[in-house]
Structure 1
Amino acid sequence: MRAVVVHGPGDYRLEERPVPVPGPGELLLRTDAVGICASDLKCYHGAAKFWGDEHRPAWAEADRVPGHEFVGTVVAGDDEALGKRAVSLGDRIACEQIVPCRECRYCLEGAYWMCAVHDMFGFKGFDGAMAEYVLVPSRALTHPVDRTLPGQVAAFAEPLSCAFHAVERGDVGFGDTVVIAGAGPIGLSAIAGARQKNPLRVVALDVVDEKLALARKVGADVTINIAREDAVARVRELTDGYGADVYIEATGHPSAVPQGLALLRKLGTFVEYSVFKDDVSVDWSIISDDKELDVRGAHLGPHTWPAAIKLLESGTLPMDEICTHQFPLEDFQQALDLVGDSAGASVKVSIVPSLSAPTTSGSTTSAARA
């Protein structure tokens, strides 16, 4: 099979590899689609969080196939694996990113998404899905997905479930003003998730008008282009001078953190979801003495996958406008570069192995939309 393989920062290669053979309790999937995440891009560029230093784990292993946002069709597996997951050959499933050990303190307490071992598809322990086939280990967590959804839409269940978890961490109430920084894949997903909670208003922040227009389509009541407007002043106008109740940071840009602290009212809630490339510094006295804020992290998408998949299957989100670009495996480098182009027109970029690579010399977009 064709597979993208990690050799080091900035060095990913398309190679031929044997198709995995499932063992007892394992499944083999034909990859329908795999989304490219901001964390994939940061890992590609050698961000310390993924390549390791004395303080942080080296999650991105050499000789690993990347890709953790994926869905696939079941093509092989023994009766134990099929029965355990209540699937048949030909069914489609999505896999959660983390493959919990089920033995550490966190797993035994039920917090599997914080597993101490922290094996994850495409980063550590198990190959991901930037390949024609992907192996599903026996302890992986899987969810059925409608086979009629386009692959890139079905694969969006991963970022959507992550954002739903961020919304859950915000404890959004009916009377709340919820501000979401960023209208990329996670931000748009958080807007859609917050809308499901039916707060008083959902406010979206970004610097790209086209993404703000899309934010309205997924549920934002108010959009603010922070390149032209003072977001803090505008939010205070909307809230009788108090500020937002909940702020969800989904940009990964250091400036969005102090922005959120300024936007929130006293006793507000700050939810951080992004993966940062650079360190962030803030005035911690705002969190403590000034406002007594509740600051919460959010990691992965525990217990939110069924709701995310249900929303995708409902057809109510404008997924044709969210899943903007699809590439064949041969063009994985172009796909990674497009994700890194913050000024580009892409929202969600995916790899669909069944696509054929462009045959015209120099072509960059003819096969990029499906």
Structure 2
Amino acid sequence: MKAARFYGIRDIRIEDVSIPEIELDDDVIVKVKVAGICGSDISKYSKTGPHAPGEIFGHEFSGEVVEVGANVKNVKPGDSVAVSPSLPCFKCEQCKQGLFSRCEDLKIIGNGDAGGCFAEYVKISSRNLIKLPEGISYETAAGIEPACIAAHGMYRANIEVGDTVAVLGTGPIGLLSIQWAKIFGATKIIAIDIFDEKLKIAKELGADICINGKKDDVIEKVKEFTNFKGVDVAVESAGTPITCAQALSLPKKGGTVLYAGIPYGDVEMPRVHFEKILRNELTVKGTWVGYSYPFPGREWTSTIHYMKKEELKISPLVTHRIKLDELPEMFEKIYKRDIFFEKIMVVVDNN
């Protein structure tokens, strides 16, 4: 089969490798249909490199079951499936409590020996699969995992009906958070970014107000739009030092800040922002991946439910659809900032 093997920073090669084989009774072989490029894949490509040279990376995908182990009961060959790519240990204290996102030895496919989805076939445990209902396309299903990450954050933030929510950073997780905030009952959603192209998509997906941080004073604009009270919940989904600081100055007294964006460098901030935690008695939370009990959790069942109802959409996020052979070229374009993009989907098999 063809697979994208990752050898080092800016070094991806499409090579022929062996199709994975059933080894354990709960193994399943999935034929990859559509795979998404995650922000963490981009960071690996440009900054951190592979866990093991030659690994097959990628972890957001959907596919068709082609072979199952002897004890597999939940799926069968021919089934269309969503794939949970994380591999909790199920043994640590956090896992025993059903807090799989906090697993003390959490692994994910696409790192090291656990082969990822930028390939024609993937082997994974049956408990990582959810059979797709009719009406959800493979492309939409490839967006289920990032949608679950956003959902996990919304559950963590305890958004309530009538809340005003600000989302800083309108990449895929931010755009999905906007949709989830609306589903959770937020009546005013403020999207914040520095790219008008992204804010346009945010508006289409439910943002009531859009603020370009390059053109306007974000904090003053949010005050203006909230009668100088502030928002109920601020969701930081960009991971930049500026937005990490601004997020603390947007909520009302007693409000909540949810940190969802991954910073790939040190974060420093002026005291005036940090002091808001104390002076406004803020609740500050982090969120990581998207799992709960029973694994993979309510994030997954809720995501599929709202995708089926077409209240949670992936296609408006998709700016590029490419073939597996085009993956190295696309990563290089991203690295050189030659293109505007949101979610990039790799169509591995369109039959």
**Does 1:11 find its partner at 2:11?**
yes
Q: 1:342 to 1:267 in 2, by over 3 A?
A: farther
| Superposition map of 1:88-99 within 5 A | 88-99=76-87
Question: 2:54 is matched with which residue?
Answer: 63
CA distance in 1, matches of 2:336, 2:161: 37
| Superposition map of 1:229-248 within 5 A | 229-248=216-235
Q: Assess if the C-alpha contact under 8 Å between 1:151 and 1:352 holds in 2.
A: no
* Structure 2: segments with no counterpart, 5+ residues: 292-296
Question: 2:294 is matched with which residue?
Answer: none
Structure 1 residue corresponding to 2:349, chosen from 327, 332, 354: 354
CA distance in 2, matches of 1:300, 1:233: 32
Question: 2:36 is matched with which residue?
Answer: 35
Q: Secondary structure at the match of 1:269?
A: strand
TM-score calculated relative to the size of structure 2: 0.91
| Superposition map of 1:252-271 within 5 A | 252-271=239-258
CA distance in 2, matches of 1:297, 1:322: 24
Cα RMSD after superposing both structures: 2.1
Offset at 1:287? 4.4
Offset at 1:240? 2.0
Question: 2:190 is matched with which residue?
Answer: 203
CA distance in 2, matches of 1:248, 1:151: 28
Offset at 1:338? 4.6
Cα deviation code 1:56-111 (max 9, x no counterpart): xxxx3333211110111000013412x0xx22211111222311111112111211
Q: Assess if the C-alpha contact under 8 Å between 2:181 and 2:189 holds in 1.
A: yes
CA distance in 2, matches of 1:324, 1:268: 34
Cα deviation code 1:208-250 (max 9, x no counterpart): 2232122122221111112212221111112221211111111
List structure 1 runs of 4+ shifted beyond 6 angstroms. none
Q: Secondary structure at the match of 2:149?
A: helix
Cα deviation code 1:286-325 (max 9, x no counterpart): 1443222211110011130111122223334554331221
CA distance in 2, matches of 1:211, 1:25: 42
| Superposition map of 1:144-293 within 5 A | 144-146=131-133, 148-282=135-269, 283=271, 285-293=274-282
Aligned residue pairs, count: 342
Cα deviation code 1:106-142 (max 9, x no counterpart): 111211122212121112451110000000135x522
Q: 1:227 to 1:285 in 2, by over 3 A?
A: closer
Code of the aligned partner of 1:42: S
CA distance in 2, matches of 1:213, 1:165: 25
Range that drifts further, 333-342 or 157-166: 333-342
Code of the aligned partner of 1:46: K
Code of the aligned partner of 2:138: G
Code of the aligned partner of 2:85: Q
**Does 1:301 find its partner at 2:296?**
no
Question: 1:57 is matched with which residue?
Answer: none
TM-score calculated relative to the size of structure 1: 0.86
Q: 1:253 to 1:342 in 2, by over 3 A?
A: farther
Offset at 1:153? 1.9
Offset at 1:352? 1.4
Offset at 1:355? 6.0
CA distance in 2, matches of 1:317, 1:131: 27
Q: Secondary structure at the match of 1:324?
A: strand
Q: 1:221 to 1:186 in 2, by over 3 A?
A: same
**Does 1:335 find its partner at 2:330?**
yes
Q: Assess if the C-alpha contact under 8 Å between 1:31 and 1:73 holds in 2.
A: yes
Q: Secondary structure at the match of 1:334?
A: helix
Q: Assess if the C-alpha contact under 8 Å between 2:180 and 2:312 holds in 1.
A: no
Q: 1:144 to 1:335 in 2, by over 3 A?
A: farther
Q: Assess if the C-alpha contact under 8 Å between 2:143 and 2:314 holds in 1.
A: no
Question: 2:97 is matched with which residue?
Answer: 109
CA distance in 1, matches of 2:224, 2:279: 20
Code of the aligned partner of 1:92: S
Q: Secondary structure at the match of 2:71?
A: helix
Cα deviation code 1:243-281 (max 9, x no counterpart): 111111111222111111121222221111112211111
